[in-house]
């Protein structure tokens, strides 16, 4: 009897606690799932956004205001437009997915299956209506746990032996006091982004980070043999030490966004604009020479402002211009001078886990929510800006490795 009561309490903490909360989560995830399906259909018709396929005769034509049914209610959403070239001009192409969403009954049936299958359109066939209709809230909750457990397995056990890594971003997100998730995001040689794995721990410490990196290696992840591995960090010494202990070819680039934010904490608001101007010049600098000039302006600005701010800058100086020293086009600066790519994934993750009122450290609750949230965020990933310049970056990393 006691065990049954304990299991029920754990179950209630791992899922939305009321029927309305559950429905709200489902509505939000259903909207995301629909947009994922629509974008997949558009990409199938027109090719990737960064490399349109002109042979299909279809092309993107912006978007238009529209609406769909979500759980019986009409909601406003932007509808992507696709047009087809013809001998007498172009015509609008109807998207099958969007037409499905305009029918309340069809939409409810298809999207409920998609959501409960982990918001993954390729798994919609894995869940049929008899698994949903007539079930109680607790049954649906157990169903969600089972599907979320599959996502944990998919994210944490995927083979990485064929993954050609160009750069790593490592950062942590705090779930609650004493519960932190450290996440590794990879950028490959084509400019694509991927969540490689995560590790749940009590804080953002070196042991947790080393465990995360070792797990990646056990799954086949390998640092490049003939070039340096670029790693972007937020300034945590624990993460820096763990990376350098694990990857001998790693070079560290400090996130300039985090450092600017730290310096603002030492300066009065009246100096923030001038500080932002200094960092803007550093981000736009082309190569090491311009980067050094921009940093000298920052040093001069801080010289008579605040001793703690100067110390904070000098502490980061070793890793401040790592990317500039590679002397690659500054079109890549936006992608490799900050950890914004992983921060954007965290924004989606926080929205996903925002309804969790209580985190239970002794259960798999964090794994279930974090894995499903990260994979949901990953579905919106696109190639990095400036990806066409990546061959130049690869050459620069090869030269750096030889030195």
Interval 116-159: pLDDT, tens: 444 333 333 343 444 444 444 455 456 556 666 676 777 778 88
pLDDT of res. 152: 73
Q: How confident is the model at residue 55 (pLDDT cuts 50, 70, 90)?
A: confident
What's the pLDDT at 70?
A: 64
Portion of the chain with pLDDT greater than 70, in percent: 78
Q: According to the model, what pLDDT value does residue 1 have? A: 45
Contact 254, 319 (CB under 8 A): yes
Residue 44 has pLDDT above 90, yes or no: no
More confident residue, 365 or 166: 166
Closest CA to 166 of 253, 241, 240: 253
More confident residue, 88 or 393: 393
Mean pLDDT throughout 207-233?
93
Reply yes or no on whether the pLDDT at 347 is more than 50: yes
**Region 295-312: what's the mean pLDDT?**
90
The closest alpha carbon to 237, from 249, 245, 229, 248, belongs to 245
The DSSP code sequence of 302-359 is HTTT-HHHHHHHHHHGGGTSTTGGG---GGGHHHHSS-HHHHHHHHHHHHHHTT----
pLDDT given at position 165 = 94
Q: Is the pLDDT of residue 362 over 60?
A: yes
Q: What share of the chain is helix, strand, coil (3-state, %, to 5)?
A: 55, 20, 25
Phi, psi (deg, nearest 5) at residue 335 = -95, -20
- Give the pLDDT score at 139: 52
Comparing 6-10, 76-80, 138-142, 287-291, the range with the smallest average pLDDT is 6-10
Least confident of 82-86, 117-121, 234-238: 117-121
Residues 6+ apart with CB under 8 A from 44: none
- Average pLDDT value for residue range 211-224: 92
**Nearest in space to 359 (alpha carbons), one of 101, 13, 28, 33:** 13
Tokens, residue 255 = 């996130």
State yes or no: pLDDT of 77 exceeds 70: yes
Tell me the pairing of strands 73-86 and 89-93. antiparallel
Give the pLDDT of residue 20.
Answer: 53
pLDDT at 134: 43
More confident of the two residues 3 and 398: 398
Q: How many residues does the chain have?
A: 403
* Residue 36 or residue 91, greater confidence: 91
pLDDT at res. 16: 46
pLDDT above 90 coverage of the chain, percent: 44
* CA pair distance 383, 109, nearest whole angstrom: 33
Least confident among 11-20, 38-47, 134-143: 11-20
Confidence of residue 25 (pLDDT cuts 50, 70, 90): low
pLDDT confidence of residue 130? 42
User: 232: buried, middle or exposed (CB in 10 Å: 19+, 13-18, 0-12)?
Assistant: buried
For residue 110, give the nearest of 40, 39, 37 by alpha carbon.
37
What is the C-alpha separation between 375 and 134, in angstroms, rounded?
A: 29
Instruction: Using pLDDT thresholds of 50, 70 and 90, give the confidence band for residue 40.
Output: confident
Which of these ranges, 65-74, 262-271, 276-285, 376-385, has the smallest mean pLDDT? 65-74
Q: Which pLDDT score is estimated for 116?
A: 42
Domain ranges of the chain: 16-134, 165-348+382-402
Distances from the Cα of 127 to the Cα of 113, 147, 255, angstroms: 6, 10, 43
DSSP H or E stretch at residue 41: helix 19-46
At 390, which helix (H) or strand (E)? helix 390-402
Confidence label for 250 from pLDDT (cuts 50, 70 and 90): very high
Q: Is the pLDDT of residue 334 over 80?
A: yes
Give Cα 56 to chain centroid, integer Å. 31
Q: Which helix (H) or strand (E) holds 63?
A: strand 58-70
Is residue 112 over pLDDT 50? no
Of the listed ranges 21-25, 110-114, 359-363, the least confidently predicted one is 110-114
């Amino acid at each position: 009897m006691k065990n049954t009561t304990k299991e029920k309490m754990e179950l209630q903490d791992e899922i939305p606690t009321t029927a309305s909360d559950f429905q709200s989560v489902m509505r939000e995830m259903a909207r995301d799932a629909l947009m994922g399906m629509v974008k997949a259909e558009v990409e199938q018709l027109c090719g990737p956004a960064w490399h349109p396929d002109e042979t299909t005769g279809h092309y993107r034509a912006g978007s238009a205001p529209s609406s769909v049914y979500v759980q019986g209610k009409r909601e406003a959403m932007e509808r992507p437009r696709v047009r087809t070239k013809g001998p007498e001009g172009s015509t609008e192409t109807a998207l099958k997915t969007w037409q499905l969403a305009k029918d309340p009954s069809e939409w409810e049936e298809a999207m409920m299956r998609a959501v409960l299958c982990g918001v993954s359109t390729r798994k919609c066939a894995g869940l049929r209506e008899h698994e949903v209709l007539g079930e109680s809230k607790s049954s649906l909750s157990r169903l969600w746990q089972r599907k979320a457990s599959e996502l944990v397995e998919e994210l944490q056990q995927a083979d990485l032996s064929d993954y050609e890594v160009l750069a790593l971003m490592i950062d942590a997100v705090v779930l609650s006091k004493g519960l932190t998730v450290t996440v590794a995001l990879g950028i490959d040689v084509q400019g694509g982004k991927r969540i490689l794995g995560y590790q749940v721990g009590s804080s953002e410490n070196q042991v947790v980070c080393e465990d995360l990196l070792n797990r990646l290696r056990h799954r086949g992840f390998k640092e490049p043999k003939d070039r340096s591995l670029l790693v972007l960090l937020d300034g945590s010494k624990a993460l820096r030490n763990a990376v350098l202990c694990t990857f001998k070819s790693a070079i560290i680039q400090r996130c300039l966004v985090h450092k600017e934010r730290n310096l603002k904490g030492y300066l009065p608001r009246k100096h923030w604009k001038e500080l932002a101007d200094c960092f803007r010049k550093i981000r736009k600098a082309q190569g090491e020479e311009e980067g050094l000039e921009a940093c000298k302006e920052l040093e001069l600005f801080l010289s008579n402002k605040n001793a703690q701010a100067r110390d904070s800058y000098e502490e980061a100086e070793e890793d401040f211009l790592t990317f500039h020293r590679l002397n690659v086009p500054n079109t890549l600066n936006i992608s490799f001078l900050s950890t914004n790519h992983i921060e954007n994934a965290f924004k989606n993750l926080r929205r996903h886990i925002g309804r969790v009122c209580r985190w239970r450290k002794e259960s798999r609750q964090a794994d279930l929510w974090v894995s499903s949230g990260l994979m949901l965020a990953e579905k919106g990933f696109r190639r990095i800006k400036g990806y066409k310049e990546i061959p130049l970056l690869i050459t620069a990393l090869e030269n750096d490795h030889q030195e």
